[in-house]
Chain A
């Protein structure tokens, strides 16, 4: 079992729709959870982080964390073609500072 799993996609959504990206992790003691966006050939760009169970909203983005089920998700409302990118989920396992990344989900927003 991979430590952090994401569906590789591509996930295609029409412009203006809600994109839902999911991530599961294996280390139950993980403390911190991050979503990064990576455009092709570019570096990861931090979108959001979440530490506690529940929802966290920032503009069009909402991160959701469920530690009991060991999953974290990212919702993108009013999706735009410029949101087309690979979204990386990162988890900090218990007792460490390093990130464990999923392989990413490729999102395509169709105009």
Chain B
């Protein structure tokens, strides 16, 4: 019974490069959420997706960040032209359809921008 999976677990990028973070929800879950945790800070909501739909992206920065959850395959959080301030832990969570309250978190991707 696999939990939420994220990869890569660690990602190093130079300024200006692109970062792609992947998240596979728990089996049977069709709702995905992305959160960002800056060093010594709490988790901040970024985006909520269902298959092929962005439901709430109120926490996404207006530029350089995008997310998708295609019909097949994992959810992708994409950061273009990364800057040092993007260095953080990015967590994905999932919940089952019909029970959107309880979210289960993946292990996170730690992004370091040099």
Check A101 for interface membership: any CB of B closer than 8 A.
yes
Q: Which of A10-18, A37-45, A63-71, A76-84 contacts B (4 or more CB under 8 A)?
A: A37-45
Please tell me the number of chain A residues within 8 Å of chain B, measured between CB atoms.
20
| Residues on B with beta carbons closer than 8 Å to the beta carbon of A88 | 42-43
Closest A residue, CB atoms, query B110: A41
Check B66 for interface membership: any CB of A closer than 8 A.
no
| Residues on A with beta carbons closer than 8 Å to the beta carbon of B31 | 97
Check B106 for interface membership: any CB of A closer than 8 A.
yes
Closest B residue, CB atoms, query A4: B42
CA distance A70 to B48 in the complex (A): 26
Closest A residue, CB atoms, query B43: A101
Residue from B41, B43, B55 within 8 A of A99 (CB atoms): B43
| Residues on B with beta carbons closer than 8 Å to the beta carbon of A34 | 102
CA distance A32 to B100 in the complex (A): 11
CA distance A103 to B38 in the complex (A): 11
A46 near B44 with CB under 8 A, answer no
A46 near B104 with CB under 8 A, answer yes
A101 near B101 with CB under 8 A, answer no
Check A92 for interface membership: any CB of B closer than 8 A.
yes
| Residues on A with beta carbons closer than 8 Å to the beta carbon of B104 | 46
Distance between B105 CB and nearest chain A CB, rounded to angstroms:
4
Check A75 for interface membership: any CB of B closer than 8 A.
no
Check B45 for interface membership: any CB of A closer than 8 A.
yes
Check B107 for interface membership: any CB of A closer than 8 A.
yes
Check B70 for interface membership: any CB of A closer than 8 A.
no
Question: B residues bordering A, Cβ < 8 Å?
Answer: 31, 33, 35, 41-45, 48, 55-56, 58-59, 91, 95, 100-108
Q: What 9 new A-B contacts, CB under 8 Å, besides A46-B105, A97-B48?
A: A43-B91, A43-B108, A44-B43, A92-B101, A97-B31, A97-B33, A97-B100, A101-B43, A102-B42
